[in-house]
Structure 1
Amino acid sequence: MLATPADNPYEEPRSGRLAAWGNALLAGLVPPDNAAAAVLGADESHRVTGLPGDEPGEQHGLTWALGRLRVLGVKGLRLALPSTGHPLGLTGPAAFNARALAAGEAVLTVGVPLGLVPEIEVYGPEGDRSATVLWRCSEVDDRPPADAPSLHEAERELVDGLRETTALLTRLDVAGAGPEALRALEAYRRRGHAELLAPGYPPRAVRVLESARQVSALLSIASVGHGAAVSASEMAARQAALAPLWRTARRAQVAAYNALVDEREAR
């Protein structure tokens, strides 16, 4: 079963992990094996294919692949979180954008125009699932990524976004919608606070990412039908109200994961 980031809004996108820990590695802040282990997380395996110079179908482990990217001249990694009508963080071409959109995420390299899109295969019974990931690398257009905000812009947007989300959930009576909504809220509160980002990231990026995750989790609870709205027209109106808040949260995530690269390029 293929999975996308939307399958679990409480977990960071795998492309985020690759960007964060790959940036820490490229900055000389963590050893290669530590970076690869952090990207792997609880997954069974991660492989990379399509790197420049690869034979067709050739695959590599994360440690080797990250080293190869550095040799090729890659200086940093950027996260992209595209959605329909919003190619957030992408540069083209159309074929790459389409694969990234289908996955809901991608990583673009800085210094060499390459992009990596994960194919995530989830298996196992509910409650005991694992995943394998194949990162497909290909050339991308060498131009600025679409709609990528600065950390300052994202933080300012989140202040309004969190206030709007809270007001919207109150209006929809999500907290009073019954046991299913309450269980979802409790799952978010008890999800734990794993280490955010990677060594070298500024505290402001960590703060922005945590706020973005909070907004995403609350929006996810609201979007699956909890609350007072039950008719098709009411659900359509709810989704329309949530859409700009989802965009705000995704923009903030992208800004947080890209902060280490942005800081370095600004010097």
Structure 2
Amino acid sequence: MTAPLIDLNDGCRMPVLGFGTYSIDDPDTFVQAIDAGYRLLDTATRYENESQVGRGIAESPVARDELFVTTKLPGDAHGSRGPRRELSASLERLGLDHVDLYLIHWPLPRIDRYVETWQALIALRDEGLATSIGVSNFLPEHLDRLVAETGVAPAVNQVELHPYLQQAEQRAADERHGIVTQSWTPLGRKSNLLDHPVLAEIGARHGVTAAQVVLRWHTQIGAAPIPKSATPERFRSNLAIFSFELGQDDLDRIAGLETGHRIGGDPRTHEEF
């Protein structure tokens, strides 16, 4: 089983559900994930596991052109020259000649070089080193500025998104620019989300787990989740969400779980170099 594909605004297509690799460094896990049906692997320079992800890709029997590999630019490489240097290093660690998606990891508004950085990513895309380019943790005002100053909208904006933080305004801003919203920590890592009785009740009615309910909710609101798990049974379960559909009553009840609470950093102030 593999995930359906979603159209990007640059004419490319991306799996609607991927495999998050944060804090996982065992190449065998990545081989198992690909074997289970995952075709999107999401890593980053700051995860310090690109080499292991690359080994998993190399050891998998699945052809490279069937995989969608994402990595991200670290904060200390913002500017006109840093992206080329960092992407070259990422490709060497991954053992690849291009990535399918390259993201600016955080906007770092205090540094205020994200427009210059975006222009560098456009050049890397035009050279074929990244098939698609996007951003991560960018707020509506950051997106508006990128488009106004460069004329190029990101293909993807990867943001914290889960039923406790539903990001309606952010998702609307992404949609306005034709940007796919990709969800990091989609299962509400380090929270009690998956123990919530509303999700348990919905899951029981559909014969699925609370995690499957949440991931299906992401895809039905138009988001593309990248759940992380190092347990084969669990990551196979995460992928098996396309055999059922949530009804409007289910979606309404999940909408009521909004708290506005962030698990990760606030893009207005968070800095990661």
Structure 2 length as normaliser, TM-score?
Answer: 0.32
Higher relative contact order by CA 8 Å / sep ≥ 6: 1 or 2?
A: 1
Structure 1 length as normaliser, TM-score?
Answer: 0.32
Q: As a proportion of its length, which structure holds more helix? A: 1
